[in-house]
A = this chain, B = another copy of it.
Amino acid sequence: MTLAFVAWLATSAQALTQTDPLPSWNNGPTQQAIIAFVRATTDQPSPKFVSPEERIATFDQDGALWVEHPMYTQVVYCRERVKPLAEKRPELKNVEPFKTVLSGDREAIAKLTMPDLEKILVATLSGMTVEQFSAEVKSWLATARRPRWKRPYTELVYQPMLELLSYLRANGYKTYIVTGGGQDFVRVYAEQVYGIPPEQVVGTAGGIKYGYDKNGRPILTKEPKLLLNDNNAGKPEGIHLVIGRRPYSAFGNSTGDRQMLEYTGAGDGARLMMLVLHDDAKREYAYGPAQGLPDTKVGAFTQALYDEAKNKGWIVISMKDDWKRIFTFEE
């Protein structure tokens, strides 16, 4: 009785405001596909109706919800954490690759190898309690700026995707981030930036060790051990581990999202799979072999991914054509 009344209220409130749930999207087939999917899965008489508890939508983050070019935010974080870390642990100042990072020599830094990068990741992402890590990320985010826009990283978020997240949630979808980035890193700001709580962030996760501090107080320490590599096949695997249900909708922008979209699309009924194509050099960036542009390694959108999308009916979102505006701060 009460539930039915609340549901009715929610529907009425929605009807009143639902002139355009996606104002930053240009009218066209992409926007229409989103609306058609939501209607098909939420209108009671629809043969493709999905019960509310089954409504799961998963979103990649880097390049799908916020800017990833020219470098993933978390990689910038790890590099910039080396300085405060070396102040606490001066012995690092004379050890590679930390010495090179501290030198500020851009050319030398660009030449660091994968094993070098791994050493930096281990030093900056493990060895502290989960609370210390969270405080370090928060403090970095407060002052760090994306050079091109001179704005906080957390403002370089795509306004059309924020509207899409809200629209799905208003229709009973539980929205999850499923990112190759660090789960603990993204959890620090996901609630504030995307309205996504920590328990709905699935990401690359290291081991966590329970123990006690010198006062006997329980602590959880981040370990230099990989538990879940939430990229490629790791995305559907991570979805099963943390969510335990197949999504009805999945959004990505690179080959790292391929398996998540395949897994989502292999379910019955209506499914919506979308890939953001970075084809807007003026307002954001244009990159990726699918457009005959250079492979920047960060967020590779290959020709094979493009072909698979076309074959399987996944929708490619053109930033240039489908998005009226890109960032929240643009008027």
Chain B contacts of A241 at CB under 8 A? Answer: 183, 205, 208, 227, 242
Complex formed: what's the CA distance from A218 to B247 in Å? Answer: 13
Chain B contacts of A82 at CB under 8 A? Answer: none
Chain B contacts of A183 at CB under 8 A? Answer: 241, 244
Chain B contacts of A199 at CB under 8 A? Answer: 174, 199, 242-245
Complex formed: what's the CA distance from A10 to B6 in Å? Answer: 9
Q: Is A281 an interface residue (CB 8 A)?
A: no
Asked if A191 and B227 make an inter-chain contact with CB atoms under 8 angstroms apart, the answer reads no
Asked if A9 and B5 make an inter-chain contact with CB atoms under 8 angstroms apart, the answer reads yes
- Interface hits, A150-195 → B, CB 8 Å: 174, 183-184, 187, 191
Q: Is A53 an interface residue (CB 8 A)?
A: yes
Q: Is A236 an interface residue (CB 8 A)?
A: yes
Copies in the complex: 2
Asked if A13 and B2 make an inter-chain contact with CB atoms under 8 angstroms apart, the answer reads yes
Chain B contacts of A5 at CB under 8 A? Answer: 9
Q: Which residue of B lies closest to A219 (CB)?
A: B266
With contact pairs A6-B6, A13-B2, A199-B244 given, residues A237 and B208 touching in the complex (Cβ less than 8 Å):
yes
Chain B contacts of A211 at CB under 8 A? Answer: 233
Q: Which residue of B lies closest to A211 (CB)?
A: B233
Asked if B130 and A259 make an inter-chain contact with CB atoms under 8 angstroms apart, the answer reads no
With contact pairs A198-B243, A205-B241, A244-B201 given, residues A217 and B266 touching in the complex (Cβ less than 8 Å):
yes
CB distance from A1 to the nearest CB of B (A): 9
* Contact for A263 among B198, B218, B259, CB less than 8 A: B218
CB distance from A261 to the nearest CB of B (A): 10
Asked if A197 and B53 make an inter-chain contact with CB atoms under 8 angstroms apart, the answer reads yes
Report, nearest first, the 6 A-B pairs whose CB atoms are least far apart: A198-B244, A210-B233, A2-B13, A208-B237, A218-B266, A199-B243
